[in-house]
Amino acid sequence: MGLNEMMKRRQFFKGGVITGALAGITGVSAEELAKTPKQVEGPFYPKVAQKDKDFDLTKIDGQEGTAKGKVVIISGVILNTDGTPVEDATVDLWQANAAGRYNHPSDKNKAPLDPNFQGWAIVPSGKNGEFKFKTIVPGSYPASEDWSRPPHIHFKVSKLGYAELITQMYFPGEKLNDTDKLLQRVPEADRAALIAKLKSEDPPTYEFRIVIDKV
């Protein structure tokens, strides 16, 4: 990676990171600070080692191509249940590509792989608990004969002294959210915490707040 590209990536990570959301932390209600609901890790946590696990999943270091699909920004913040931002938490993210296929040896989906899609990222949360990713909207895929999973992104958040959280983020307005067996298992009052909020159309930017608890 060249020096100019490195600078652009650093500027992307540092610039425009949900400052409005962070400024409003003190006004977050007790309901909003309930712990983020847990979800299953699923069978497709990455097994294939890869060097490039940075915040930009639309490109792979050393390759010229760009991932297929609708490019979006996922920004958010990691909070303790008392509203305190959690710095240096490990934010581990993985997802299917735009065709609904994981880069995983156990994924038997016949949809094509995307050689330009990173698919997996691990970054630390920043000083104010913030994180940010550039990715594509994952495709839906069949989980069984009578069940198709909606677009979703897996998260694993961990830090020493906190309970590890494994969960999934869903996109608003997706019809398959209403029939997804995993999302529908979550109590109705808690489901909104797993559905990202669209904050900007240009570029499409979604906000996902994650609340973890100390052990």
- Which one of the listed residues 9, 10, 101, 141 is annotated catalytic? 141
* DSSP annotation of 145: T
Catalytic annotation present for 191: no
Q: What residues pair up with 167 in beta bridges, in sequence order? A: 155
E strands within the chain?
A: 71-80, 90-94, 120-124, 130-136, 141-144, 147-149, 152-158, 165-170, 197-201, 204-212
Catalytic annotation present for 102: yes
- Which one of the listed residues 9, 10, 101, 102 is annotated catalytic? 102
- Which one of the listed residues 149, 170, 206, 209 is annotated catalytic? 149
- Which one of the listed residues 10, 45, 104, 152 is annotated catalytic? 152
What is the C-alpha to C-alpha distance for residues 138 and 191, in angstroms, rounded to an integer?
19
- Which one of the listed residues 101, 154, 206, 209 is annotated catalytic? 154
- The answer to whether the bond into 142 is cis (omega within 30° of 0) is no
Amino acid at 52: D
* DSSP annotation of 107: -
Catalytic annotation present for 154: yes
Please report where in the chains the tokens 């909207």 appear, as a residue. 137
Residues with catalytic function: 102, 141, 149, 152, 154
